[in-house]
Amino acid sequence: MKLVQKLLDSMGMSDFEPSLALRKMIQIAYLLSFALFLWNSLRIITDTEGPVVVVLSGSMRPAFHRGDILFVKNQQDPYQVGDIVVFKIPGKEIPIVHRILTSHMTDEGKQVFLTKGDNNTVADRGLYDYKNGQRWIEKKDIDGKIYANFPYLGMFTIWISEKPYYKFLVVAFVVVITFFSNE
């Protein structure tokens, strides 16, 4: 115990209280739990897997720019030409935000779509799982339609994802601020 006390004294933490540290850790756990609660609530309200996405490229300029935060909502009504949707390609992790360029009904009665980024010169056929016969996306591939956006507020998440070691620094900063803040 004396060794721990000497170490704390040398770090300028002679008044360190374990019960205070435990309370701070519980505060961090509450914060993380609340964030998870909000995320899951948004998923339920919007009926989509990813209710919030960040634009990662310039393919939808001028409508959306890299770093814009978009809010997504699944809709029961049929999607229409001109709708901006978020969809996923089977086997690819990152969702894509593009506009529906064309739509038609298959012989089986399914509505299928061809999409394109506003700033792209060609439609998205090259993005689809062409090797496995995917020429169109279906409603099951679409997470939802964009209903709101906040310009550039997502640049922080892009910065964090492009430089993974920054995640550690941000988490460490939050922990340090939480532990050393006054109650």
Instruction: Report the catalytic residues.
Output: 59, 98, 124
Q: How far apart are CA 65 and CA 147, in angstroms?
A: 16
Conformational region of residue 52, where left means phi above 0, alpha means psi within -120 to 50, and beta covers everything else: beta
Q: How far apart are CA 144 and CA 87, in angstroms?
A: 7
Q: How far apart are CA 83 and CA 94, in angstroms?
A: 20
Whole-angstrom CA distances from 142 to 48, 62, 75, 151 are 9, 22, 10, 23
Question: Do 84 and 145 contact (CB within 8 A), yes or no?
Answer: yes
**Lookup result for tokens 């996923």:** 88
**Lookup result for tokens 């901006």:** 84
